[in-house]
């Protein structure tokens, strides 16, 4: 029996006016997979996320969440997704807890259920003592942890993270990476982690290299290194990005 991918895009394209920002993009993320969407700034990562979360209307190609076409079952698809945007999205005037309750309400959770889940998630990201603090008082790393906790509150099976470590120090970055990888490994969550930071591609991760709106390579990190005959991911990425530009 074949397992439906948690997230798949087929022949996805998008234009902003005359400017084409995504072209014939196809790849899939299996349940339990930690997949890195690697690309420079302007590669089309955020556009892809915006299409998958109905912030932009999708015109070309197909996006499926656990086999469901988002154009046909958008709301059910959104229920399955936890999202961490590149731009911080906490309400800085509310406390950590108030931000989390707000998210639970948007997903229709009862107050009791919300209280239970908030306690569990906030504890997992190590911010139990800060739950009553205004989001404004938290550091950048702490805010990102809250956003991860929030993305998990409604029990999604797929996590979409758009540049979640931008601006964070090394310790906070490592915490975020370890936390999400653990969720994939231990809880079977699928994660699509968009980044321009090559060192976030860890061993065993699947990588999708996106450049100028096109997929340049898809596969296991080790497999890509072999194919490109490169000694490091950085070298492989640079070759992939330069190859067609030179052509």
CB of 153 to other proteins, least distance (A): 11
Query: Rounded distance, CA 197 to CA 162, Å?
Result: 12
Query: Rounded distance, CA 95 to CA 93, Å?
Result: 7
CB of 84 to other proteins, least distance (A): 10
CB of 102 to other proteins, least distance (A): 5
CB of 138 to other proteins, least distance (A): 15
Q: Which is nearer to other proteins, 1 or 75 (CB)?
A: 75
**In sequence order, what DSSP letters do the residues of the chain get, joined into one string?**
-PPPPSEEEEEEEEEETTEEEEEEEEEEE-TT-EEEEE--TTSSHHHHHHHHTTSS---EEEEEETTEETTTSHHHHHHHEEEE-SS----TTSBHHHHHHHHHHHTT--HHHHHHHHHHHHHHTT-GGGTTSBGGGS-HHHHHHHHHHHHHTT--SEEEEESTTTT--HHHHHHHHHHHHHHHHHH--EEEEEES-GGG--TT-EEEEEETTEEEEEEEHHHHHHHHT-SSHHHHHHHHHHHHHH-
Q: Which is nearer to other proteins, 124 or 134 (CB)?
A: 134
CB of 191 to other proteins, least distance (A): 17
Q: Which is nearer to other proteins, 133 or 238 (CB)?
A: 133
Q: Which is nearer to other proteins, 83 or 180 (CB)?
A: 83
Site residues (CB under 8 A) for other proteins?
15-17, 50, 53-57, 75-76, 78-79, 81, 83, 85, 87-94, 98, 101-110
Q: Which is nearer to other proteins, 134 or 179 (CB)?
A: 134
Q: Which is nearer to other proteins, 7 or 237 (CB)?
A: 7
CB of 115 to other proteins, least distance (A): 13
């Amino acid at each position: 029996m074949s397992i439906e991918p948690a997230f798949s895009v087929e022949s996805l394209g998008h234009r902003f006016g005359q400017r084409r920002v995504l072209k014939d993009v196809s790849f899939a993320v299996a349940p339990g997979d930690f997949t890195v969407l690697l690309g420079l700034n302007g590669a089309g990562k955020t556009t892809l996320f915006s299409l998958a979360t109905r912030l932009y209307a999708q015109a070309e190609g197909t996006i499926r969440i656990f086999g469901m076409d988002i154009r046909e079952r958008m709301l059910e698809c959104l229920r399955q997704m936890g999202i961490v945007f590149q731009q911080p999205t906490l309400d800085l005037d509310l406390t950590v807890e108030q931000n989390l309750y707000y998210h639970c309400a948007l997903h229709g959770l009862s107050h009791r259920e919300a209280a239970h889940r908030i306690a569990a998630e906030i504890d997992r990201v190590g911010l139990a003592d800060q739950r009553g603090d205004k989001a404004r008082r938290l550091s950048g790393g702490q805010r990102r942890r809250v956003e991860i906790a929030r993305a998990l509150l409604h029990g999604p099976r797929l996590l979409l993270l758009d540049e979640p470590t931008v601006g964070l120090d090394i310790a906070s970055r490592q915490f975020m990476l370890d936390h999400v990888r653990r969720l994939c490994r231990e809880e079977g969550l699928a994660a699509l982690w968009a980044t321009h930071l090559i060192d976030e591609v860890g061993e065993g991760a699947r990588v999708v290299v996106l450049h100028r709106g096109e997929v340049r390579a898809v596969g296991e990190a080790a497999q890509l290194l072999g194919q490109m005959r490169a000694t490091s991911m950085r070298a492989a990425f640079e070759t992939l990005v330069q190859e067609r530009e030179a052509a």
